[in-house]
Amino acid sequence: MRSRSRIIGVASAIVLLCSFSAYAETQSYPYISYDIGAGSGYSGEGAFIEAQIGLNTHFNRWITWRNSGFYRNQPDRDDFFGLDTSLLAGDRIRPTQRTQLLYQAGGGDRFTSIQEHAPFAEAGLSFQTGGLRLGANAKYLFYELVGDARDNELVFGISVSGRMAGRL
């Protein structure tokens, strides 16, 4: 289990480094963006923190497929990792040529290393100026919908992101 965690960590680091070096401003679709972030929340077992690395495929201006690997640390429980995959819809407001406010919402599924999978809904707001995007989001995990004994959870997060060059 730890070797799988290391492989995922190394692969994520490589993708992230490639993302930073390949950043370019382009308006052609589809394109891929990345983000790194941290989240925090409270479950029936106490407070927790999560680190996240995401790759997002933007099919057009208003639809994005997001895949985010995460690692959760919770003091009274074993750490675990997983993948969140979701489909998000949204748009942007451009106050100036170099700045924009982006908003998105949608739903998806969380897959974890401890087999506690759950559907979720999420919404976020980002501010971009030049090549830097800062965002905040909220994610609600519906563990009760899948009959899991866990309580539903609300995770708040912040992220920093950018964009890769080229077309798919």
- Is there a domain that residue 114 lies in? yes
Contact indicator for 144, 152 with CB cutoff of 8 Å: yes
Structure confidence at residue 28 as a pLDDT band (50, 70, 90): confident
Pick the residue with more confidence: 86 or 74?
86
- Is there a domain that residue 40 lies in? yes
- Is there a domain that residue 45 lies in? yes
State residue 163's pLDDT score. Answer: 64
Structure confidence at residue 164 as a pLDDT band (50, 70, 90): low
Query: What CATH number did the domain enclosing 27 receive?
Result: 2.40.160.20
- Is the confidence at residue 24, as pLDDT, over 50? no
- Is there a domain that residue 168 lies in? no
Structure confidence at residue 161 as a pLDDT band (50, 70, 90): confident
- Is there a domain that residue 85 lies in? yes
- Is there a domain that residue 139 lies in? yes
Contact indicator for 135, 123 with CB cutoff of 8 Å: no
CA distances from 69 to 9, 36, 61, 102 (A): 9, 10, 23, 22
pLDDT tens, residue by residue, 86-131: 999 999 999 998 899 999 999 999 999 999 899 999 999 999 887 7
Count of domains for the chain: 1
Summary mean pLDDT of the chain: 82
The C-alpha torsion from 145 through 151 and 152 to 155, rounded to 10°, is -150
Region of 7 on the Ramachandran plot (φ > 0 left; ψ -120 to 50 alpha; else beta):
alpha
State residue 39's pLDDT score. Answer: 95
What percentage of the chain exceeds 90 in pLDDT? 54
- Is there a domain that residue 132 lies in? yes
Domain that holds residue 38: 2-163
pTM as predicted: 0.77
Residue 25's φ and ψ, nearest 5 degrees, are -90, 115
